[in-house]
Structure 1
Amino acid sequence: MFTMTIDWLKSNYGSEPNQVGQTKDWLKKYGINVPEDKIDEWAQYKHLSEYQVNTQDIVPRALAMVGSQFHSKWSAHREINLMRVPIAAAYEEALHIVRPRIIVELGVGGDSAISTSIFIAYLSQYPSPLLLSCDYHPLGKTWYRYKSCIFWGFYMMDSLEFLHKVKDKFQVRPGLIFVDSIHSFEHTLSEIVLSAALTDNILLDDSTFEGNDFDEVKGGVKGAIEVWMEGNKNWKRTELNNNAICLLRKEN
């Protein structure tokens, strides 16, 4: 069992001394119904406060967890991250459908790593699991949180390059590949094509995103899914979280 302490909460989700001021400014500018007398206290938790728009009482709720027991520290991270981004519950919905033991994660999200926390907590209940994650950018605080996880590996590289690495070097067959990297049409379509050769289950975040104005090829994640599904009728599409997250499954 793991008991959450205030030191653990601060070290994983707290502000560095040079971040307190900017966190105060963030709360004043973007926060929703933030009590004036709580700004100083909440500003001590940058990695909670920046998600206050998703869960307005995230800081007091997290502080109320201090002293609580969890199955593991990974379970504690999961609880915190479900408050940071509540729609992450859809990731768990997909996990309960697929029940993978090996997961490949394309896109971690720097200091965010919401999906990473969900995947680690889920996999930690099974023997010999494996989570292979990639991101084009450094991890920052995320590395501090999860570096001690013995079944997690992180690789700083492009997702398409990483998929080739999974196939050629690791030689594993993932039970699930999670796609949340560059949301352009071309890149996402390439990710789906490569992933489909490695797994029977692909989970895509932001599946309703139709691209940026500056994209040379329009369509975004949504368009890439639609084009690929049109040519792959033996795959089933399941919408999660009011269609914002999409699970593609190969039918035998």
Structure 2
Amino acid sequence: MGSAETARNVVGIVGNVISLFLFLSPLPTFYNIWKAKSVQSFKPDPYVATVLNCAMWVFYGMPFVHPDSILVVTINGAGLIIELFYLAIFFIYSDWPKRRKVIIFLLVELVFFAVIVLVTLMFLHGTKSRSMLVGLVCIVFNILMYASPLTVMKQVIKTKSVKFMPFYLSLANFANGLNWLTYALIKIDPYLLVPNGLGALSGLVQLILYATYYRTTNWDDDNDNITQSKTQPETTTHNDNIPKSEIQLQKHDV
């Protein structure tokens, strides 16, 4: 039992590192926003969605909901702070209509989150029932967020080009999903197992597509896309994403 717990902690720590990398991957985009003093055509949707996703996983990892999940809390707590930082930059450099959209979405998320918390704490007694409710909600959100990578993969197949599906991002998503899948298997946790199993599968398919279409990709017009990539989320997401590479990143599923 002790060795299994140690292995689980090690895997969880590695997962925190990989997930942190994914959360930080959009930094270049926001640096460009700060530098340009404008969000231009950039959309905040994937980051708004990730805020609620992280908040739900933080709540799921609380000891009174799902005990022994501190590593789920740490990475999603960090992710929540990072996503709010991104949205703060967006808010500062956007016009009022875009700011209003962000405010409305965040308020809706806050109300939804508050309802889940109240229902969980007031009407459910015991960690088993609480884990089930919150875990199912988290699974639904993660599955919905996978719609973005599907969009990117469809684009790759259609264009026979992997230009907008960065290899290292796909590799990181695969490693992240596989790592947290392992974490969920060491001490069976179906609510972590399902979304991260899907995440690992999604990452694997992306890598297969990359290997399949790498040689048919036209890299000659890369320079023409540099400016565009600086003004759009790397996702068309989750993200959006997608192009969104960023969006895929955010999908961290823990």
Give the TM-score normalised by the residue count of structure 2. 0.27
Judging by fraction of residues, say which structure has more helix.
2
Structure of greater relative contact order (alpha carbons < 8 Å, 6+ residues apart): 2
Instruction: Give the TM-score normalised by structure 1.
Output: 0.27
Query: Which structure has greater strand proportion?
Result: 1
